[in-house]
């Protein structure tokens, strides 16, 4: 039986890796993938707590997070495609410089 | 031990995949590493008793969402960005420092904090009341002075109610009155083996006594149900499966010498089992049949149902010369609880307690769908495109008309047509 703390710490590590991806990568698509990684880390913690407390509600939260993530990806990728069309780049730094 | 080892190995793979996703220069590799990471998380879901979420994790996340990512990367040709034009050089070390600080604080909070993470929360035991005392009328049942079942008639039972584990005093009153028929202490304990412990409180006997019978509401194996037998009759009984009426050799004892007030839980029984050949007999004598389960509409094994069969004594023709006591089997049905984390349990919660969030999420998905269409629809981003074409078209027409020697834009001018199947000629752009 793996302790709940192990899962929560693993979840925190994955979350931080995702956060670093958001902060450090310049590719907008990679930033989005890092956000997905953060959502997954949160999901893992939710499922671990659900198991610990023997309550299914955590599973439902994960279900909703997944649905929202799917919606977010659809919108986000549509935005990236639209930005790429007008600016010919998805480099976040360049987009920042070309502001206006 | 195996579980800890698996956790370490898969956890290491998950973290390594996440790090590689961060470090890969090529976005396609990053996406593939992220898929590995999602697969590892799906494996953890399985370890954490969430098989349904594991399924969606693989199908929706690793499947649909990541394929969408890969598709967009390929579509835009954005595998690699050019030379870095870093504006925020100080960001990388700062992000690293902040991340490490966050990790340290989280680690301290998890390991040293006074957060109550120990011991799984157990739900209070479920209790129902069954009335099997033939000479008592309908009863009200109180636990510590609190009504838990009202007006339970003979051969009937109340629904399951949660009752805190511990000591209780059970009082049976004749329905609607304060005349206590019985008052008895009762100790409820959670069964650590089960997610939900369920009990049936059976009142039986001539001078009513209560007995607490554990019910098993766990999910049954595929296409089978559970049967618990409780003997509320005044003699010990046997239960036989007689098989064929004419062949004495295929008789089979289901349970034997079940004392009054005792119960036995049978192993899972297939839902196709024919109970018509089953009969209760007096203990020791196979011929003295007390009751036959020969009504397939009443005595039937259904899948995902826990059935308690209470053998009670019923007085018939009381007060007359034929006054006698006969045995009656009373089936008490209850649905087996869906297993933790399975699709059935998730679905039940989703369509009861989480109905409103489900609707909201459905609306959100619809909005996202429309939003994606609107955002990627080309026309909306170049509204003046047609004007541009017109402005180009006019001098071109003028150039042609100078070459041909007549005005091509003159209205009413005959345009040459292709003879056979040509229906609609694209009209030249006219201002």
How far does Cα B372 stand from its chain's mean position? 31
Coil, strand, or helix at residue A26?
coil
Could you please report the per-residue DSSP string of B34-97? Answer: HHHHHHHHHHHHHHTT-HHHHHHIIIIIIIIIHHHHHHHHHHHT-SS--S---S-TTHHHHHHH
Check pLDDT > 80 for residue B119. Answer: no
Residue B195 sits at the chain A interface (C-beta within 8 Å): yes
Q: Are residues B350 and A60, on separate chains, in Cβ contact within 8 Å?
A: yes
ipTM above 0.90, yes or no: yes
Euclidean distance between CA atoms B152 and B279, whole angstroms: 27
* DSSP bridge pairs for B129: B201
pLDDT tens, position by position, B168-221: 888 888 888 877 888 888 888 877 777 677 888 888 877 778 888 888 777 776
Minimal Cβ distance to A17: which of B22, B353, B372: B22
Q: Of residues B417 and B154, which shows the higher confidence score?
A: B154
pLDDT tens, position by position, B46-67: 999 899 999 999 999 888 999 9
Residue B19 sits at the chain A interface (C-beta within 8 Å): yes
Q: Which range has highest mean pLDDT (B101-110, B123-132, B244-253)? A: B101-110
Euclidean distance between CA atoms B274 and A9, whole angstroms: 53
In a mutagenesis test of the A interface, which of B17, B22, B77 is the best target, namely the one with the most A β-carbons within 10 Å?
B22
Range A4-97 classified under CATH 3.40.50.620:
no
Contact B258, B229 (CB under 8 A): yes
Per-domain residue ranges for chain A?
A: 4-97
* DSSP bridge pairs for B52: none
């Amino acid at each position: 039986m793996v302790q709940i703390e192990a899962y929560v710490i693993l979840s925190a590590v994955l979350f931080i890796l995702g956060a670093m991806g958001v902060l450090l990568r310049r590719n907008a698509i990679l930033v989005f993938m890092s956000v997905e990684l953060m959502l997954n880390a949160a999901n893992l913690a939710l499922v671990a707590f659900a198991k610990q407390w023997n309550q299914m509600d955590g599973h439902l939260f994960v279900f909703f997070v997944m649905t929202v993530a799917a919606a977010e990806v659809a919108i986000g990728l549509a935005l990236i495609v639209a930005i790429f069309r007008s600016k010919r780049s998805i480099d976040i730094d360049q987009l920042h410089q070309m502001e206006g | 031990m195996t579980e800890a080892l698996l956790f370490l190995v898969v956890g290491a793979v998950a973290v390594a995949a996440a790090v590689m996703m961060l470090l890969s220069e090529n976005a396609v590799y990053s996406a593939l590493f992220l898929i590995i990471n999602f697969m590892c998380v799906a494996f953890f879901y399985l370890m954490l008793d969430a098989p349904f979420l594991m399924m969606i994790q693989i199908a929706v996340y690793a499947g649909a969402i990541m394929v969408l990512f890969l598709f967009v990367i390929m579509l835009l040709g954005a595998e690699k960005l050019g030379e870095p034009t870093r504006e925020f050089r100080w960001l990388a070390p700062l992000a690293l420092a902040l991340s490490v600080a966050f990790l340290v604080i989280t680690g301290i909070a998890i390991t040293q904090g006074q957060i109550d993470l120990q011991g799984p929360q157990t739900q209070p035991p479920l209790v129902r009341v069954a009335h099997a005392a033939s000479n008592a009328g309908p009863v009200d049942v109180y636990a510590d002075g609190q009504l838990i079942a009202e007006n339970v008639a003979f051969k009937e039972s109340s629904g399951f109610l949660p009752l805190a584990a511990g000591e209780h005093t059970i009082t049976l009153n004749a329905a609607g009155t304060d005349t206590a028929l019985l008052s008895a202490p009762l100790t409820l304990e959670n069964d650590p083996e089960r997610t939900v412990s369920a009990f049936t409180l059976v009142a039986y006997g001539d001078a009513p006594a209560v007995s607490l019978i554990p019910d098993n509401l766990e999910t049954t194996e595929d296409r089978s149900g559970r049967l618990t037998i409780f003997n509320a009759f005044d003699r010990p009984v046997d239960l036989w499966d007689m098989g064929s009426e004419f062949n004495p050799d295929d008789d089979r004892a289901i349970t034997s010498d079940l004392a009054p007030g005792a119960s036995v839980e049978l192993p899972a029984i297939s839902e196709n089992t024919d109970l018509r050949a089953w009969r209760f007999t007096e203990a020791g004598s196979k011929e003295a049949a007390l009751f036959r389960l020969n009504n397939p509409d009443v005595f039937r094994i259904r899948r995902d149902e826990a059935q308690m069969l209470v053998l009670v004594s019923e007085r018939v023709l009381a007060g007359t010369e034929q006054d006698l006591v006969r045995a009656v089997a009373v089936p008490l049905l209850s649905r087996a609880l869906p297993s933790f984390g399975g699709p059935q349990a998730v679905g039940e919660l989703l369509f009861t307690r989480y109905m409103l969030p489900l609707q909201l999420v459905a609306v959100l998905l619809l909005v996202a769908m429309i939003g994606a269409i609107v955002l990627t629809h080309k026309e909306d981003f170049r509204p003046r495109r047609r004007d541009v074409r017109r402005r180009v078209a006019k001098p071109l027409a003028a150039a042609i008309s100078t070459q041909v020697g007549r005005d091509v834009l003159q209205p009413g001018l005959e345009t040459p047509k292709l003879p056979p199947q040509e229906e609609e000629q694209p009209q030249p752009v006219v201002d």
